[in-house]
Amino acid sequence: MEQLTTVDAWRRYCADARARGAVVGLVPTMGALHAGHASLVDTAKRECDVVVVTIFVNPRQFNDPDDLRKYPRPLEDDLARCRELGVDAVVTPSMEEMWPAYPAATATTVTVAGVSEGLEGAGRPGHFDGVASVVAKLLIVTGPSRAYFGEKDFQQLAVVRQMVADLALDVTVVGCPIVREASGLALSSRNVRLDAAAHERALGFSRALAAVHDGVARTADDMRAVLRDVLEDAGIDVAYAEVVDPTTLRPLGAGDEGVARVLLAGFVDGVRLLDNGELRVIATKGATSVAGH
């Protein structure tokens, strides 16, 4: 496994792989790798000839300095995990390589209107500008490739897909299913910050998804109320509990029906966690279901 630390070496590595006829698979991460990341690598290995993992904690997507300071950075463990997974190259660029002007503002920022503006975008101003800017750089340096993202960060995935389409980047964006603990909690690098009691409260996210999977007929507004009640009963400080169109992320109203997405976010002991699941919503009373939560 090669460890690349500069943009130039990273660019050359991917260009050389394509020159040999290889399909490059990119797995962008901020480190603290877990089984969810491993599933992205496994999918990339099945579909590509060369798999590149990037590890970079991007400060531009943190609107809370304390959250950035506490974000886990177990680099040596991450490198060992990548070796075990059979990753071909790991990119660990310095801050100077990625954002030379940091902590000053970078002159160029990528903004994706629409899908970035509610939900996480509303609660974390500037977050998706930071995400879109760093992902654009990752994709541009890597070049033509397949890029793998987890569906747990569903709005992030929608932002990346929109950006790639709008900028006509030569990249295929692949969304991969959420990976969960046996308890039902969605895997996240932030889970390591939860003690046993907080972990138990965080299970309210999967219980909320199960509550709208129980076959009881509900409108979208009924579902929102049920989701919020379950989260609050679990002791979660709810940021949002929304039912949206899976492409535009527009909140669904009473007259909407069809495939939708439940998006959940909240704080457990100050740790912001996300979860989501697919469902079918109806405009009038009848059967409702959630799949793959």
- pLDDT tens for 36-76 read 999 999 999 999 999 999 999 999 999 889 999 999 999 99
- pLDDT tens for 1-34 read 999 999 999 999 999 999 999 999 999 999 999 9
Q: Give the per-residue pLDDT at 288.
A: 45
| Share of residues in the chain with pLDDT > 90 (%) | 88
- pLDDT tens for 134-166 read 999 999 999 999 999 999 999 999 999 999 999
Q: Is 230 in contact with 222 (CB distance < 8 Å)? A: no
Mean pLDDT of the chain: 94
Q: Is 43 in contact with 146 (CB distance < 8 Å)? A: no
Phi, psi dihedrals of residue 14, rounded to the nearest 5°:
-70, -40
- pLDDT tens for 174-230 read 999 999 999 999 999 999 999 999 999 999 999 999 999 866 657 888 899 999 999
Largest CA distance in the chain: 58
Q: What is the CATH number of domain 2-176?
A: 3.40.50.620
Q: Check whether 171 has a pLDDT greater than 80.
A: yes
Q: Is 131 in contact with 159 (CB distance < 8 Å)? A: yes
DSSP string, 42-92: HHHHHH-SEEEEEE---GGG-S-HHHHHHS---HHHHHHHHHHHT-SEEE-
CATH class (in words) of the domain with range 189-291: alpha beta
Q: Give the per-residue pLDDT at 238.
A: 98
d(CA 166, CA 110): 11
* pTM score of the predicted model: 0.93
Q: Give the per-residue pLDDT at 259.
A: 86
- Listed in order, the ranges of the chain carrying CATH 3.30.1300.10 are 189-291
Q: Check whether 289 has a pLDDT greater than 60.
A: no
Alpha helices in the chain (DSSP H): 7-19, 35-47, 65-70, 75-85, 95-98, 120-123, 127-142, 154-167, 196-202, 204-211, 220-233
Active-site residue numbers?
37
- Listed in order, the ranges of the chain carrying CATH 3.40.50.620 are 2-176
- pLDDT tens for 68-122 read 999 999 999 999 999 999 999 999 999 999 999 999 999 999 999 999 999 999 9
